[in-house]
Amino acid sequence: MSGGWNWQHVWDSLPTLLEGFLTVTLLVTVVGSVIAAVLGLVLELLRRSAPAPLAALLTFVVNFIRMTPIVVQLMFAYFALLALDPLTIGIVVFGIHYATYMAEVYRAGIDSVPQGQWEATTALSMSRGRTWRAVIVPQAVRATLPSLGNYVISMFKDTPFLIAITVPDMISNALRYGGDHFRFTEVIVVAGVIFLIASYPTSVLIRKLEQRIAFTT
């Protein structure tokens, strides 16, 4: 490995890097986020409505998942469920791991809905189900969108851990290219730049969203 920046390696590695980005990094982030957003809400609603012992168990499981590194969870699921394809395992583990964080975000969002909203639903004789679906959840989700967005970016940046379970994401493709050509500098920098190009607009979007929410409520 010798000095100097070689643009040839940038162009040559780009296809395999982009392939890893699109077929794994982006896929895991998008599908994982959807799972996390939906499962997180379900977890929080269950925790609130389930009988006390079940709610306590749920809180324990959620804390357990939050307090252990995602790479350990990926490896555990990979070795425990060898029959499943590693990409599926990756998506599901990312979804569940981040669901526990998003559940916490939803909790704060639900608590932020003013008491007067609950009282209005009572005064209108609305059912519990309708109260949650039509009034509380929409307002809670709206209040939590920026935080949820930040967790999506975190998840995106955690995807290189997929290398631990042999899923060919962008970083593992970069390392493979590097190993084949005994050049790592360019590929790693390019991978970093691709991450930056993808996260930056997302974070700008989230900031915009934050401002819009601040203005309209």
The residues that touch other proteins, with contacts defined as CB under 8 A, are 114, 116-117, 119-120, 122-127, 130, 134-135, 138-139, 142, 216-217
Q: How far is the CB of 209 from other proteins (least distance, A)?
A: 15
Between 15 and 138, CB nearer to other proteins: 138
CB distance 174 to 13 below 8 Å: yes
Q: How far is the CB of 135 from other proteins (least distance, A)?
A: 6
Between 45 and 198, CB nearer to other proteins: 45
Between 127 and 203, CB nearer to other proteins: 127
For 148, counting Cβ atoms within 10 Å of its Cβ (0-12 exposed, 13-18 middle, 19+ buried), the class is buried
Q: How far is the CB of 37 from other proteins (least distance, A)?
A: 18
Between 88 and 211, CB nearer to other proteins: 211
Q: How far is the CB of 124 from other proteins (least distance, A)?
A: 4
Q: Angle 7-20/185-216 helices, nearest 10 degrees?
A: 50
d(CA 166, CA 199): 24
| Whole-number CA gyration radius for the chain | 21
Q: How far is the CB of 126 from other proteins (least distance, A)?
A: 6
d(CA 150, CA 206): 8
Dmax (CA) for the chain in angstroms is 75
One-letter amino acid for residue 187 of the chain: V
Between 143 and 170, CB nearer to other proteins: 143
